[in-house]
Each structure stands twice: as structure tokens, then as C-alpha cells.
């Protein structure tokens, strides 16, 4: 099992506001799609509702204790142990795509982080819960999103 968390995080650690993203960065969404397509993705129920539909070409795994059951579109788990048992049998890299609760829950099982640092402060109500000081920086790449003109840095971290 190889778990990788993927997140976009502002300078003041905001990741969400009113159950949606506080920014629109098409370039980052494109990179997210390229990275995760063909792989399983794990998300919390709130993030699933915020996206509003299963993401195509990926096995969508949703953690929730209420509301949803598994179908041909999504795989639902109601507890961590069952989720981890399922992931143990997967050969692919599995991406943990948020939100805040799920990053926190799964950080101990992740071996890699792919973080888009959005180089600006934003108002928000959901925050990135992982202390990056406990992780080792492997690489960094900067880009400016053309439509929003936001500067971003994609950084990849490994467990120290």
C-alpha cells in the first residue's frame, strides 16, 4: 500500500471555505487530474459532497458514517480499519485528497505528500492539519496560474 496525500494549501494553511475551495486555479486542477487519473482516491464525505460527483477514471473512495453506501460509482467505508484493509490489497499508489479531517486521519499511513502551496493568504474555515516540519522536502517547482495570476509552488515531501 502506498498512500500519497495531495492538497492545495494557502500561506495561512487554509484549504477550504464554506465546503468549497477558496480559489479557482485551473492549472492546479489540471495537474491534480494528471496525477490522480487511473488511481484510487480517498476523500471525506464533505469533500465528496463539495465536488458533487464521482471524479471520472478514478476509484472514488468515500469515508462516512452516514448517508452513502457503496455503488458502482463510489466505494464507501465507515471506519479506518476496513479502509486500510482494502488499501493493503491495492498495488497502485492511492491518493488521499482531503479534506482536513481525512488528511489528519490518514497522515500516519501516508509516505508522500504532494502540496500545492498557494503563495497568498485566504479567508477560510478548513485548515491543513499536517505539520510539514515532520516531513522532508524532496522537490519544488513554481508556476503562475494564467487565469488567476496566483503564484504557486508544488512541493513533494517524504516521511523523515
Ligand X SMILES: NC(=O)c1ccc[n+]([C@@H]2O[C@H](COP(=O)([O-])OP(=O)(O)OC[C@H]3O[C@@H](n4cnc5c(N)ncnc54)[C@H](OP(=O)(O)O)[C@@H]3O)[C@@H](O)[C@H]2O)c1
The residues in 94-153 that bind ligand X, with binding defined as CB under 6 A, are 97-102, 105, 126
User: Minimum distance between the CB of residue 151 and ligand X, rounded to whole angstroms?
Assistant: 16
Nearer CB in complex with ligand X: 91/103: 103
In the complex, the smallest distance separating the C-beta of residue 97 from ligand X, rounded to whole angstroms, is 6
Nearer to ligand X, 91 or 157 (CB): 157
3 state DSSP class of 64: coil
Q: Name the burial class of residue 47, with classes exposed (0-12), middle (13-18) and buried (19+) by CB atoms within 10 angstroms of its CB.
A: buried
Comparing CA positions, the residue from 87, 92, 47, 41 lying closest to residue 68 is 47
User: Given candidates 12, 37, 57, 65, which one binds ligand X under the rule CB under 6 A?
Assistant: 65
Number of residues that bind ligand X (CB under 6 A): 29
Give the residue among 115, 111, 125 at the shortest CA–CA distance from 46.
125
Task: Give 73-125 as a DSSP string.
Answer: SEEEESSHHHHHHHHHT--SEEEE---HHHHHHHGGGEEEEEEEEESS----S
Q: Mask: binding to ligand X, 20-49, rule CB under 6 A, as x and -? A: xx---------------------xxxxx--
Binding interface with ligand X (CB under 6 A): 7-8, 15-16, 19-21, 43-47, 50, 63-67, 78-80, 97-102, 105, 126
Amino acid at each position: 500500500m502506498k498512500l500519497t496525500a495531495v492538497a492545495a494549501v494557502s500561506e495561512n494553511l487554509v484549504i477550504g471555505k464554506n465546503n468549497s475551495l477558496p480559489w479557482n486555479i485551473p492549472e492546479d486542477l489540471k495537474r491534480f487530474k494528471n496525477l490522480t487519473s487511473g488511481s484510487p482516491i480517498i476523500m471525506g464525505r464533505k469533500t465528496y459532497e463539495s465536488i458533487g460527483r464521482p471524479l471520472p477514471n478514478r476509484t472514488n473512495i468515500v469515508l462516512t458514517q452516514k448517508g452513502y453506501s457503496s455503488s458502482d460509482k463510489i466505494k464507501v467505508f465507515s471506519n479506518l480499519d476496513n479502509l486500510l484493509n482494502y488499501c493493503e490489497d491495492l498495488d497502485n499508489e492511492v491518493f488521499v485528497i482531503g479534506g482536513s479531517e481525512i488528511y489528519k486521519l490518514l497522515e500516519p499511513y501516508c509516505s508522500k505528500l504532494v502540496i500545492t502551496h498557494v503563495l497568498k493568504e485566504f479567508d477560510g474555515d478548513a485548515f491543513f492539519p499536517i505539520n510539514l516540519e515532520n516531513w522532508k522536502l524532496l522537490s519544488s517547482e513554481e508556476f503562475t496560474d494564467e487565469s488567476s495570476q496566483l503564484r504557486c509552488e508544488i512541493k513533494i515531501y517524504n516521511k523523515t
